[in-house]
Amino acid sequence: MLLRRNLSPKPFSLLHSITAVLFSTSAAVDFLHSYTVTPPIQDWPHRLSPKRLISLITREPKLDLALQIFHHASKYHPGFHHNYHTYHAIIRRLLRSRAFHLIDPLLSDLRASNLRCSEDLFISLIRNYGVVSRPKLAFKTFITIPKFGAQRSVRSLNALLNALVQNQEYRLVHSVFRNCRERFGVAPNVFSCNILIKALCKRNDLETAHQVLDEMPAMGFVPNVVTFTTILGGYVSRRDMVGAKRVFGEILDRGWFPDVTTYTILMDGYVKQGKLVEAIKVMDEMEDNGVGANEVTYGVMIEAYCKEKKSGEAVNLLDDMVEKRYIPSSALCCKVIDVLCCEGKVEDACELWKRLLKKNCTPDNAVLGTLIYWLCKKGEMWEARKLFDQIEMSEPPDVMTYNVLISGMCEVGELCEAGRLWDDMVEKGCSPNSFTYNVLIKGFCKIGKAKEGIRILDEMFEKGCLPNKSTYAMLIEGLCDSGEEAEITRVISMAMSSGDMDSDSWDLFLTKVVGDLDTGESVLNRILLENADSSPRFRGLGIC
């Protein structure tokens, strides 16, 4: 209504307009002060401190909302100003989500704010850039630390050296180390030397690594167990176990106690050379010296036992690992189960898996698929089905697990059960692939219902799943055995149009149809006539 009253025609007056603007300014300011922007979350605090904001950012599960909270605080909350810690909190949150593209604008704002910064923020950035294979950004971050009013120290230097090693920038590691005092004003420490030695060993430059080791006392650093273990690892990578054992002896001669990493690297070296007995001796020595195995140690030795087909020892060590509260990886469990099943101990493998589940090992598709495969291979389809139903998965079974079970059911002619598994698969949002379709087609052909296989073939096309040469070959053979001449013609025409009619399929067709049926020649002529456009493809086969 107010707007309508103001719209009554009046003669234009420039003076009147200017006066109106001048006299309305104070009212407009009052209006703007009273205007508020809706906060991005409910229960926005009336009093907001940096500490409270950090808590809001950290607890917010949605990244975009966490960023909105950060910006809303500084732009619209009365009297609030960001400090270094709030910037660190939001950047740390972005790093966890790998949202690197959102970090640069925040760093620009932080630099413009002239806030006093700590080196910790930049160490986090360097480490994360190293993890995601961006060594140039890690180096750039290290260079720009002083521009934010922070001081570089050996901590950020070591973070950079580690990031470079992670990304195989070994020569750059050596260059940065040599120039760290003069160029960057940072003095290295013993950890810096260890990282340099690691880079040299990764480059297979053990000679220079030994030079650095010899020069460390002159630099004021005392080599430690980690230093010698790193060089020992270099010899192991070279497959030089004599050199590795010599370095191990040096550790003992200095009166040091090798740690679990030292022992594990030595074991791994022997295992890779197929010297399982030597690896076992090292493990026994480690236990005699009161050093307990860790997750990596167990993994190395269990895999070694599996490789040597020693299922009993592998199972015992796996049980010991679980008793020590280490959770074996899915891949490790699969290897133990696989070696048991290869020895015909499928029931023992199932019992082992049930035992592992009771120890909080998470069931997954890889292990379940391995067990089902071996049960089906042994002919125990219903045991496989029972296991499939019993194990409660944290995620739905994948297409490979379904394929193994459906294939097993089709092999023994249980097409109805295979169909039920198919329906269950689709209901759970798991899409069949070419293998699934082929298995069903093969199953129908095996029980003399090749025409049902054609229906499956039609569905393949509908779902955008392309058949392959084996699909057509199975169907042609099944239809030939059933004497379905008309359907054979249709399938061959489909195969020709898709370019999947290879020489083997033609040989099968010529042997089964043209060679056996009185009408074989006319069938062949009709097929070639219907697919005349495709005929050049088959002249190389001697067909046209």
In this structure, the dihedral spanned by the alpha carbons of residues 479, 480, 484 and 485, taken in order and rounded to 10 degrees, is: 130
Q: Which residue has the higher pLDDT, 71 or 515?
A: 71
Mean pLDDT, residues 139-163: 97
Using one digit for the tens of pLDDT, what is the confidence trace for 260-307?
999 999 999 999 999 999 999 999 999 999 999 999 999 999 999 999
In this structure, the dihedral spanned by the alpha carbons of residues 401, 404, 405 and 411, taken in order and rounded to 10 degrees, is: 170
Q: Cα separation of 330 and 356, whole Å? A: 11
Q: Cα separation of 443 and 453, whole Å? A: 8
- List the alpha helices (DSSP H) in 276-432: 276-288, 295-307, 311-323, 330-342, 346-358, 365-377, 381-390, 399-411, 415-427
Tokens of 188: 């290295």
Return the closest-CA partner of residue 494 out of 517, 507, 475.
Answer: 475
What's the predicted TM-score (pTM) here? 0.74
Q: Cα separation of 337 and 464, whole Å? A: 36
Identify the pLDDT of residue 510: 53
Identify the pLDDT of residue 533: 53
> Which residues neighbour 192 within 8 Å (Cβ) at sequence distance 6 or greater?
154, 157, 158, 161, 177, 180
Alpha-carbon separation of residue 304 from 335, 377, 450 (angstroms): 10, 25, 47
Using one digit for the tens of pLDDT, what is the confidence trace for 309-319?
999 999 999 99
Identify the pLDDT of residue 515: 53
- List the alpha helices (DSSP H) in 134-187: 135-144, 154-166, 170-184
Tokens of 81: 């100003």
Residue 185 lies in a domain: no
Mean pLDDT, residues 353-374: 84
Classified as helix, coil or strand, 536 is helix
Residue 319 lies in a domain: yes
Give the confidence band of 531 by pLDDT, cuts at 50, 70, 90: low
Identify the pLDDT of residue 544: 40
Q: How many CB atoms lie within 10 A of CB 461?
A: 12
Residue 191 lies in a domain: no
**DSSP 8-class letter at 145:** G
Residue by residue, DSSP assigns 222-280 as: ---HHHHHHHHHHHHHTT-HHHHHHHHHHHHHTT----HHHHHHHHHHHHHTT-HHHHH
Residue showing tokens 């030595």: 266
R_g (Cα) of the chain, nearest Å: 36
Q: How many CB atoms lie within 10 A of CB 373?
A: 21
Give the number of domains in the chain: 1
Residue 371 lies in a domain: no
Q: Cα separation of 314 and 299, whole Å? A: 10
Residue 471 lies in a domain: no
Average pLDDT, the chain: 85
Give the confidence band of 393 by pLDDT, cuts at 50, 70, 90: low
- Which residue range is the domain that position 357 belongs to? 293-362
Classified as helix, coil or strand, 429 is coil
Return the closest-CA partner of residue 59 out of 84, 79, 41, 85.
Answer: 41
Using one digit for the tens of pLDDT, what is the confidence trace for 451-491?
888 888 888 888 888 777 778 788 878 887 777 767 777 77
Exposure on the CB side of residue 380, measured as CA atoms within 13 A: 16
Identify the pLDDT of residue 21: 42
